[in-house]
Amino acid sequence: MASTTPTDSLPPTPAPPVTGLNSKSTGRAGDKVFLALSRGSGILLLVIMASIAAFLTYRATLAISENEGNFLTTFDWNPAGDPPVFGIAVLLFGTVVSSIIAMVIAVPVAVGIALFISHYAPRRLATPIAYVVDLLAAVPSIIYGIWGALFLVPYLEGLNLWLDDFFGWTYVFEKTEVGVARSLFTVGVLLAIMILPIVTSVSREVFLQVPRMNEEAALALGATRWEVIRMSVLPFGRSGVISASMLGLGRALGETMAVATVLSPSFLISLHLLNPGGGTFAQNIAAKFDEANEFGRDALIASGLVLFVLTLLVNGAARLIIARRKEYSGANA
Amino acid sequence: MKLQRKNGLRAAALGALVVSGTLVLSACGSDDNSGGTSGSGETTSAASDIKCDGATGKLLASGSSAQKNAMDLWVKNYMAACTGVEVNYKSSSSGEGIVAFNQGTVGFAGSDSALKPDEVEESKKICKGGQGINLPMVGGPIAIGYNVPGVDKLNLDAATIAKIFNGKIKNWNDPAIAELNKDAELPDKAIQAFHRSEDSGTTQNLGKYLGATAKADWPYEAEKKWPAPGGQAASGSSGVAAQVKQNEGAIGYFELSYATSQSIPTVSIATGAAAPVDATSENASKAIAAAKVKGTGKDLALELDYATKAEGAYPMVLVTYEVVCDTGNKPETLDTVKSFLTYAAGDEGQKVLSDHGYAPIPAEINAKVRETVAGLK
C-alpha cells in the first residue's frame, strides 16, 4: 500500500507509545490514511447494507399493503390473483421443521465423527476421513438436489414405509397420503447430509484444541477414554459445537436448489411429515420467481425478509448461548 | 476448513470439481428436448420464402417457453437467410414477456394466453396511437402421460381427468376408469397425480379445458397456479415428465414433445367422438381449426372450442401468441418484426412446426395473421 512509504522514510526515532487506532497523537500520515481507509470501508459497508435493507423493506411493504390475505397466517401464495392473496405460514412451518429434522440428525452424527477423528481414529485413518468430510462441503447444492431426487428419494421410500409401519402411532410418522418420499422428512435428511461437513469440521477443530493438560489430568486420575471425553472434551467444546451447529442451521434455513429439486411443494401444513407437500422460503422464491410479475416479486421479497429475520433471531440466540459459556471457549485456551 | 493441506487432496478436489461441473453442464441441457432433428440441413432449404425487406439490426423478443423450440427453428432459418439481422428470443415465461413488452424493451413478446384487459390498457403507453394485439402463431397438444405397467392404451374423458387430478379418484381400478377401458387390465394401485410446482401456462390451459368440459368436477378458475388440493408437484414440464417416468402409478401433464422424447405413453381422450382421440400434433390442429377469433379489430385472440366432438380432434390444446403493437411499433424494429413474423406465419414457417410436435395454425386464421402482420405500423 502507498501508506507504507512515508512511514519507512521517517528517521528512526524512539517509537511513541502505541495507544490504539483512534489515537490522533501519533501524527503519522500513514496511520491517518489507514484510519481513514478502514473507517471509510466500514461506513461504506454499513451504508450499502442499510440501502439494501431499505430497498427490500420498501418493495416488501408495497406488496404487503396490497395483500388481501393475512401475510402471516394465509395458507396460499397467489400474488397474481385477483385479489392478490399470499401468506408465509406454510413456508415458515416448512423451513423450521425441515431445519429441525436436519439438526436432530446431523448434530449427533457430526459430533460423533468429529470425536472419532480427533480422539479415537489412528492418524492414518483420521486424516483421509477428515478430508472426505471437508470435501462434501465443496459439492454444490444443485448436485445434492439431483442426487437427492434420483437416489435418495427412491431409497427413502422404504424407510418412510418402515417408519409408517412401526411409528405410525406417533402421528408425525403416519403416512396418510400416497406418493413418493418427496416430503419434508426427506428434505430434512438431505439437509442433514449437506450440513454435516461444516458441523463436523468446526467441531473437530474445537475438540483438537482441548488443552492437553486437562485430558492428561483426567487420564492420570484413572479415567477411561470415554470418561475423558465426557469430563474434559465435551464441556470444553460445547460452545464450539453450538457455533458449528448454528453455521449448519444457517445453511439449512437458506438452502434453495436442493430443496426445490427434492420437495413436492404444496400450500398445506401437515404434521404428517412423511406426506408429500410443504415448502420453504428459499424453495418458494426459486420456484415462483421466473413467472412472477413485478408485484409477485415484491411478495417474494417480503417472504425473503421474513427468512432474513428468522436467521437473525437464530444467530442472536446462538450468540447469547455462546456468551454465557465464554469461559469454556476455545479462544481462552 | 483446511482444504489446502496436501496435494493429494487438491487432486481429489479437482476431480470432484470436474465431476460436478460435468453434472451441472449436463443438467443445463435437459430443457432442450426437440430431439436433435433440427440439423443444419433445413437451414439452407428453408431460405427460399424469407423476405428480408428492410430488416436490419437487432430484434429483441422474449416470452413463453412453450414455443421455445419453434422459435429457435424460425430464428435460425431467418438469420441464415437475412444476414446482418440478429433476432434474439429469450424464452422466459409468458408473464415476463408481457411485462417486458409493456416496458418497451422488446420488439414483440410470446405468450401462452391472450393479453388481459389491464395489460392491453398498459400497452397503450408503449404503442403510440395503438395498442397491443395477439397474433396466434404456434399451437400444440398438452399430453397426459401415465405410468401403469401392463396398460399400453388408456382412454379417459374430461370428467375422469378432472377427478383424478383433484383427488376424487384415488385408485387405478376405479369403476369410472374401468368403464372407459373395458379391455385393459387395471391394477389395484394408488394414483399419484403430478402437477407443475411453479406458475405455468400449461397448467392454465389444462384448467381452461377442464373448466369448459367438466365444470361440475373442476370448479376452479383457470389460473397459472395449480388450483386443486392434494397431488404432488414437480418443477417444469421436464420435472413432471421425469416423475411420471420414474414412479409406477403416476400421471401428469406436459407438452407432447416431452412425452415422445421420453417414450411416456399418453392418454387418449374420449371427447364424445366415435373413437377416443390420441394426442398428436395433427389431431391438435383439427381442434384448433374449430377455434373462432374473439379479438376485436386487429386483435386475433382465439376462442378455442374445448368441447369439440369432431372426429379426431384432440381438444386439450394450447395456442401461443406473438404480442405486437397494431400501430406505434418502434420504428427501428418495425421492419424486422414484420419481416420475421411474415416468415413465421408463412407456409414454410408453419410447416416446420408439425415436424417438431407443434401444430400449425389453421389456414383461415393464418391468412388473417399474415394480413395483420403486413399492416403493422
pLDDT at position B199:
79
For residue A141, what is its C-alpha cell?
A: 447444492
For residue A87, what is its C-alpha cell?
A: 401468506
Omega before residue A79 within 30° of 0, cis: no
Minimal Cα–Cα distance from B95 to chain A, Å? 6
Is residue B112 a known part of a binding site?
A: yes
CA distance A304 to A289: 12
Nearest to A287 among B99, B197, B249 (CB): B197
Q: Which of B93, B174, B199 to mutate to test the interface with A (most CBs of A within 10 A)?
A: B199
Asked if the C-beta of A161 comes within 8 angstroms of chain B's C-beta atoms, the answer is: no
**What is the per-residue pLDDT across A12-41, written as a single tens digit (0 to 9) for each?**
555 555 555 555 555 688 899 999 999 999
Asked if the C-beta of B5 comes within 8 angstroms of chain A's C-beta atoms, the answer is: yes
Is residue B94 a known part of a binding site?
A: yes
- Asked if A157 and A151 touch (Cβ cutoff 8 Å), the reply is no
- Would you say how long chain B is, in residues? 377
CA distance B307 to B287: 9
Instruction: Give the chain A residue nearest B192 (alpha carbons).
Output: A179
Which are the contacts of B169, defined by CB distance < 8 A and separation ≥ 6? B160, B163, B176, B177, B191
Where do the domains of chain A lie? 53-327
Minimal Cα–Cα distance from B362 to chain A, Å? 29
pLDDT at position B307:
86
**Which superfamily is assigned to A53-327 in CATH?**
MetI-like (1.10.3720.10)
> Looking at residues A61-77, what average pLDDT do you find?
91
Element (H, E) at A51: helix A29-66
Q: Does position A327 have pLDDT exceeding 70, yes or no? A: no
CA distance B9 to A133: 12
Name the B residues in 192-221 with CB < 8 Å from any A CB.
192, 197-200
Indicate the pLDDT class of residue B265, thresholds 50, 70 and 90. very high
Indicate the pLDDT class of residue A147, thresholds 50, 70 and 90. very high
CATH says B12-35+47-138+292-302+320-374 is which class? alpha beta
CB pairs under 8 A between A and B: 92
Minimal Cα–Cα distance from B116 to chain A, Å? 12
Q: Does position B15 have pLDDT exceeding 70, yes or no? A: no
Nearest to A131 among B9, B170, B229 (CB): B9
- What DSSP string describes A159-181? HHHHHHHHHGGGSTT---S-S-S
Question: Could you tell me which of B145, B162, B293, B278 has the C-alpha nearest to residue B215?
Answer: B162
Name every chain B residue with its beta carbon within 8 A of the beta carbon of A182.
232
Which are the contacts of A320, defined by CB distance < 8 A and separation ≥ 6? none
- Asked if B154 and B146 touch (Cβ cutoff 8 Å), the reply is yes
Q: Does position B222 have pLDDT exceeding 70, yes or no? A: yes
Question: Could you tell me which of B194, B199, B191, B226 has the C-alpha nearest to residue B210?
Answer: B226
- Asked if B241 and B134 touch (Cβ cutoff 8 Å), the reply is no
pLDDT at position B155:
94
Which comes out higher in pLDDT, residue A98 or B16? A98
- Asked if B324 and B106 touch (Cβ cutoff 8 Å), the reply is no
Q: Does position B45 have pLDDT exceeding 50, yes or no? A: no
CATH no. for B142-287? 3.40.190.10
Name every chain A residue with its beta carbon within 8 A of the beta carbon of B170.
178
**What is the per-residue pLDDT across B317-354, written as a single tens digit (0 to 9) for each?**
989 999 999 988 888 888 899 999 999 998 888 888 88
Instruction: Give the chain A residue nearest B98 (alpha carbons).
Output: A293
CA distance A303 to A89: 10
> Looking at residues B28-52, what average pLDDT do you find?
48
Alpha-carbon Rg of chain B, whole angstroms?
Answer: 23
Amino acid at B38: S
CB contact under 8 A, A264 and B234: yes
Asked if the C-beta of B13 comes within 8 angstroms of chain A's C-beta atoms, the answer is: yes
Give the number of other CB atoms < 10 A from CB of residue A67: 19
Q: Which residues pair with B189 in a beta bridge?
A: none
Q: Which of B1, B68, B223, B240 to mutate to test the interface with A (most CBs of A within 10 A)?
A: B1
Is residue B40 a known part of a binding site?
A: no
CB contact under 8 A, B3 and A180: no
pLDDT at position B11:
55
Of A138-147, A303-312, B354-363, least confident by mean pLDDT is: B354-363
Nearest to A140 among B3, B13, B24 (CB): B24
CA distance B131 to B127: 5
Residue B11: exposure state from Cβ atoms within 10 A (0-12, 13-18, ≥19): exposed
Nearest to A142 among B27, B92, B247 (CB): B27
Minimal Cα–Cα distance from A128 to chain B, Å? 9
Is residue B64 a known part of a binding site?
A: yes
Which comes out higher in pLDDT, residue B48 or A222? A222
CA distance B82 to B68: 21
> Looking at residues A93-113, what average pLDDT do you find?
95
What is the ipTM metric for this complex?
0.73
Which are the contacts of B242, defined by CB distance < 8 A and separation ≥ 6? B234, B262
pLDDT at position B46:
43
Average pLDDT, chain A: 87
Q: In angstroms, how far apart are the furthest CA atoms of chain A?
A: 83
Asked if the C-beta of A260 comes within 8 angstroms of chain B's C-beta atoms, the answer is: yes
- Asked if A191 and A99 touch (Cβ cutoff 8 Å), the reply is yes
Alpha-carbon Rg of chain A, whole angstroms?
Answer: 25
CB contact under 8 A, A264 and B1: no
For residue A124, what is its C-alpha cell?
A: 492414518
> Looking at residues A189-214, what average pLDDT do you find?
93
- What DSSP string describes A233-272? IHHHHHHHHHHHHHHHHHHHHH--HHHHHH----S---S-
- What DSSP string describes B280-339? -HHHHHHHHHT-EE---TT---EE--TT---TT----EEEEEEEEESS---HHHHHHHHH
Is residue B65 a known part of a binding site?
A: yes
Residue A240: exposure state from Cβ atoms within 10 A (0-12, 13-18, ≥19): buried
Which comes out higher in pLDDT, residue B302 or A291? B302
pLDDT at position B145:
95
> Looking at residues A235-248, what average pLDDT do you find?
90
Minimal Cα–Cα distance from B374 to chain A, Å? 31
Instruction: Give the chain A residue nearest B4 (alpha carbons).
Output: A131
CB contact under 8 A, A265 and B199: no
Q: Which SS3 state, helix, strand or coil, does residue B143 take?
A: strand
Q: Does position B27 have pLDDT exceeding 90, yes or no? A: no
CB contact under 8 A, B232 and A261: no
> Looking at residues B33-59, what average pLDDT do you find?
58
Is residue B202 a known part of a binding site?
A: yes
CB contact under 8 A, B27 and A146: yes
Indicate the pLDDT class of residue B61, thresholds 50, 70 and 90. very high
CA distance A251 to A26: 45
Asked if the C-beta of B190 comes within 8 angstroms of chain A's C-beta atoms, the answer is: yes
Chain region(s) in chain B for CATH 3.40.190.10 = 12-35+47-138+292-302+320-374, 142-287
CA distance B202 to B316: 10
Name every chain A residue with its beta carbon within 8 A of the beta carbon of B223.
78, 80-81
Nearest to A265 among B17, B20, B233 (CB): B233
- The winner for highest mean pLDDT among A26-35, B2-11, B89-98, B104-113 is B104-113
Nearest to B20 among A143, A197, A264 (CB): A143
Phi, psi of B202, deg, nearest 5: -65, -45
Q: Does position B9 have pLDDT exceeding 60, yes or no? A: no
For residue B306, what is its C-alpha cell?
A: 374445448
Per-position b or e across B290-328, b if 16+ CB within 10 A of its CB = bbebebeebbbbbebbbebebebbbbbbbbbbbbbbbeb
Asked if the C-beta of A108 comes within 8 angstroms of chain B's C-beta atoms, the answer is: no
Indicate the pLDDT class of residue A326, thresholds 50, 70 and 90. low
Which whole-number Å values give the CA distances from A122 to A125, A127, A201, A233, in the listed order? 5, 9, 17, 18
**What is the per-residue pLDDT across B154-163, written as a single tens digit (0 to 9) for each?**
999 999 999 9
- Asked if A307 and A287 touch (Cβ cutoff 8 Å), the reply is no
Q: Does position B42 have pLDDT exceeding 50, yes or no? A: no
**What is the per-residue pLDDT across B273-285, written as a single tens digit (0 to 9) for each?**
889 999 998 899 8
CB contact under 8 A, B232 and A154: no
Element (H, E) at A109: helix A89-115
